[in-house]
Structure 1
Amino acid sequence: MNPAAAISNNLLTAAFESQASDIHFYPFQDHTNVYFRIHGKRIFYKRLISAKYQLLLTYYKFTSGMDIGEIRKPQNGTITHQESNQMYSLRLSTLPVNLMESLAIRILPQEENLSLDQLFLFPNQLNKLKEWITNQAGIVLFTGPTGSGKTTTMYSLLQTILSEKSYQTITLEDPIEKEMDDILQVQINEKAGITYQSGLKAALRHDPDIIMIGEIRDKATAEFAFDASLTGHLVLSTLHAKNASGTVHRLLEMGLKQTDLQQSLIAVAALQLLPIQINETTKRRAAILELLEGKRLEKTIQGVDDKTENAFYSFDHLRKKAYAYGYISEEIYKNS
């Protein structure tokens, strides 16, 4: 085994054993600091001398299909890695900093150990999501910051619904985070002319029942997604927004009309991950959700501030409930 591959294997094994979701390489002139993100917290792992980091960086760029000679522009790539009986997809991203390059690796397990029930802290919220995806047409949006579990939730819901009924399901993703059976997965490749828009147009010709769009990034994709939902398709997608009501404001700021939202938007689920403690030890993370639907969604689209609770529970309320039940520590409750 070459030296770079040996360094990589040791590093990845440590990350997997720590249940890290990300690895960050922070380069300085004479060394590079390596950090793991574990249960949402960035933790220092070790220091590498510059020569080892450069060796590792070149190895990762080569194996993930990046241009080794390009150091002035950000690049992205993916690697699949087998560890024991578990397969991982690694999403790599470089960023030029001070005549050097930093590297970030997102770790995506391909065989999920957690069941759908374990992904959510409160089971009634999962039941609501399952109810939403029984709609034959319309759009359901999952929102939250990067790494909040949006795509994992969509995958799990799709797997659940497809285990019960046969639907023609097509996903458009950049990149494909997890390979799934019985689903047509399209890799967005803008260099090759496969954009979200062109991919969506082609997908509609395949007579889909459900379309999953990895992320709504701009007005054009948003408009196309909403148009697709109006023509008898159930569309699932993600958007970056702070909370449920912020999602509606973001869509309106993109230029979508209120009438489009009123006709197509079934509901919004904003996700936030909390580190769950069992016997004062953090075991895993589980999601709490702000769920926006029905009359409250209608009022939000109209710009009306609904002060009544109407069974709407904010992140603040849900964190308070999680703390009261002993799921999270006082520190997490106060600082999240």
Structure 2
Amino acid sequence: MKSLVESILTEAHTHSASDIHITLDESGGTVKLRVKGQMVQLQLLDGDTFKRLINYLKFITELDINEHKVPQSGRTTVQLEHGEISVRISTLPMTILRESVVIRILNNNDRQTSRELFYDKKDYLFLSEYMKKSQGLILFTGPTGSGKSTVMYRLIKEIADEGLKAVISIEDPVEYEVPGLVQVEINEKAKLEYAPLIRGVLRCDPDIIMFGEIRDKTIAEELIKTSLSGHLVLSTFHSKSALGTLVRLQDYGLFKEELSESISLIVNQRLIHTAKRSFIICEYIESKDVENFLKGKTVKYDTLIDKLALIHQESGMNDEEYQYYHRILQ
């Protein structure tokens, strides 16, 4: 199984895949790669090989091999010929004793700098300047697979490399190991709640706090309080647009006043794949825009569709690519 896993991961690296999907149906197991947003079949597995592969993946990520009824997630690093590759393994129960697995490749684009991730380098410079602030809440938003965590980690890494600020992250689980960053992994078995954990982090004199993802009202409230206490706080959040982020946060029951006082910047982004290259486009609203929107005023800014149209005009994508992404972004 070790050689099979190494072979699959090598193919994933070669094709710059973001994820590997391992599923089972009546005909047997299937391994597929997600390459530039599209699913590509890699190989077929017989039933026995599929079962042993799943068990081996659970073993190397220290998951419970005998647990088939609840989702599990773990992380590991595998040594390949070209170097180490970090992965996150997530299992999903299907029927009795049957599971599917998704492997997220965590470091398949490490050669890119933060600047190279963006189509418009001015977006990178804008975000880089925001990282120099001493207080406020910065949210990186978008759907799954839009590159939120990648951008946030890259910006944090640049701050950590400078070594001038104390940066602490709270993650579930730790996805990228960043030198110079104090990374705290949430231990669900210890039943440690977020509020006391964040208060514990505050006692360690951080300049910047990064929280992996806002998943509920409790986390959102704690991060708002933290940003108002004189710290720069970064996190990710699932939403379709920058303004939609504010609507979703209000759905949590958060007050307009605390949102207006705490949020410095909302970045909403998408990962775009063209025949020429892959890159990120983003839209963003700042604190004044947040305040105006919450007061019911009209907010004008360059949206993702505006950015997409400009890229098309500059021949950064062909007509077919433009129409495809325009339809998705509407």
Same fold (TM over 0.5): yes
Deviation string 1:248-277 (CA, Å, 9 cap, x unpaired) is 111111111111111111010001010143
- Residue from 257, 260, 276 that aligns with 1:262: 260
What does residue 225 of structure 1 align with? Answer: 223
Check the 8 A contact 2:160/2:179 in 1, yes or no: no
Deviations 1:180-239 (A, max 9, x none): 111100001121133433321110010110000001111111111011111110001110
Question: Which amino acid letter does the alignment assign opposite residue 50 of structure 2?
Answer: Y
**What TM-score do the two structures reach when normalised by structure 2?**
0.94
1:269-284 to 2 correspondence within 5 Å?
A: 269-278=267-276, 283=277
Identity of aligned residues (%): 36
Instruction: Give the alignment of 1:121-270 within 5 angstroms.
Output: 121-164=119-162, 166-270=164-268
Q: State the aligned residue count.
A: 324
RMSD: 1.6
CA distance in 2: counterparts of 1:324 and 1:186, whole angstroms: 45
How many Å separate the matches in 2 of 1:237 and 1:120?
19
Check whether the contact 1:91–1:106 (CA below 8 A) recurs between aligned residues: yes
Which is further off, 154-163 or 58-67?
154-163
Deviation, 1:294, is 4.2
Deviation sequence 1:154-189 (CA, Å, 0-9, x none) = 111112233445111100011111111111000011
Q: 2:112 matched to which residue of 1?
A: 114
Mapped partners of 2:307, 2:27: distance in 1: 46
5+ long unaligned stretches in structure 1 = none
Structure 1 counterpart of 2:258, one-letter code? D
- Aligned residue identity for 1:26: T
For 1:66-145, list aligned pairs within 5 A. Answer: 66-99=63-96, 100-109=98-107, 112-145=110-143
5+ long unaligned stretches in structure 2 = 326-330
Partner of 2:294: 301
Change (3 A) 1:267 1:234: same
Provide the TM-score with structure 1 as the length reference: 0.92
Seen in structure 2, the aligned counterparts of structure 1 residues 33 and 69 have a Cα distance that, compared at 3 Å, is: same
Alpha-carbon distance between aligned partners in 1 of 2:6 and 2:161, rounded to the nearest angstrom: 35
Partner of 1:288: 281
CA contact (8 A) 2:120 2:281 kept: yes
**What is the CA–CA distance in structure 2 between the aligned matches of 1:9 and 1:110, rounded to whole Å?**
14
Kindly indicate whether the alpha-carbon contact (under 8 Å) linking 1:29 and 1:50 is maintained by their aligned counterparts in 2. Answer: no
Q: State whether residues 86 and 110 of structure 1, in contact with CA within 8 Å, keep that contact through their aligned partners in structure 2.
A: no
Distance 1:94 1:218 in 2: 22
Tell me the secondary structure at the aligned position of residue 178 of structure 1. Answer: coil
Please state whether the residue corresponding to 1:44 is helix, strand or coil: strand
CA positional deviation for 1:110: 7.5
Q: CA deviation at 1:8?
A: 1.1
Q: Deviation at 1:46?
A: 1.8
Pairing 1:317–2:314 present: no
Mean Cα deviation higher: 237-246 or 125-134: 125-134
Structure 1 Cα separation of the partners of residues 252 and 86 of structure 2: 32
Whether the 8 Å CA contact 2:21–2:101 is kept in 1: the answer is: yes
Aligned counterpart, 2:13: 16
Do the aligned partners of 2:22 and 2:100 also contact (CA within 8 Å) in 1? yes
Aligned partners of 1:264 and 1:212: how far apart in 2? 15
The question of whether the paired residues in 1 share the 8 Å contact of 2:32 and 2:39 is answered with yes
Q: Give the letter aligned to residue 50 of structure 1.
A: G
Aligned residue for 1:277, secondary structure, equals coil
SS of aligned partner of 1:318: helix
3-state secondary structure, aligned to 1:241? coil
CA deviation after TM superposition for structure 1 residue 67, in Å: 1.1
SS in 2 for 1:198: helix
Question: What secondary structure does 1:109 align onto?
Answer: coil
